[in-house]
Amino acid sequence: MFWKLIRGLLTLLVLALLAAVATFFFLCWRINYTGVHDEAQRADAIVVLGARVDPDGQAGPDLRVRTLHAVDLFQRGLAPYIICTGGFQDDRLSAASVGCRLAAAQGVPADKTLLADGSSTTREDAARTAELLAAKGWQTAILVSHPLHLERARLFFEAQGISVYPSPTSTNLSAIPWKTRALLTIREAAGILWLYLEDGGAPDIWTEPLNRWIYGRAAIQALD
């Protein structure tokens, strides 16, 4: 009877591990799927997710690409406003401020760019953007970011009740070196798992290491 119980527990453990592995690989597939499908369509606003700003106040490579992509969507008439996120309020080096200035330099009227700053994580970007959209009575947004970042960002924004249309800066993932693509995919999948673990009340001893890896300095700069 004892050994039968042990075998049963081992079987359940193996099945749980297989389910966990299958879930993780599904997340990795979903991250790459979202990254190659541009779903941009008419919306209330275009949201540019913040990225690194150089010490001289210029947009880092990824922030520049994201902002220019948003400008292109704006010029195509898909939305009447661009919302730039990320960084601290009243900071000229915040991603939101730099993104707005770059959009203006590309011909976007200043009154058509809006700040959703005061945030330092994607989840905070979503919360700040949701506040701004609610104040304007808006509900839909084209979400612009690095292709491998969009699936996790989509989940955060949809959790805020926003109808999201992901629009990656490029749908050519083959242009990303495979090691970088693999690292970012795994990191983003871990980020999604962290979201559910944290919301599910998992102890900090589980979630904090994931949080440090996802939002650590090296991880953030990897998207640049």
**Whole-angstrom Cα Rg for the chain:** 19
Q: How many helices (H) and strands (E) does the chain have?
A: 8, 5
Predicted local distance difference test score (pLDDT) of residue 204: 47
pTM across the whole model: 0.83
198 has pLDDT over 70: no
- What's the token pair of residue 59? 């947009």
> pLDDT tens-digit profile of 12-38?
777 777 777 888 889 999 999 999 999
Structure confidence by residue, pLDDT tens digits, 93-105: 789 999 999 999 9
Q: Which fold has domain 35-173?
A: Rossmann fold (3.40.50)
- Confidence class for position 3, pLDDT limits 50, 70, 90: low
Asked if 142 and 152 count as a contact pair (C-beta separation under 8 A), the reply is no
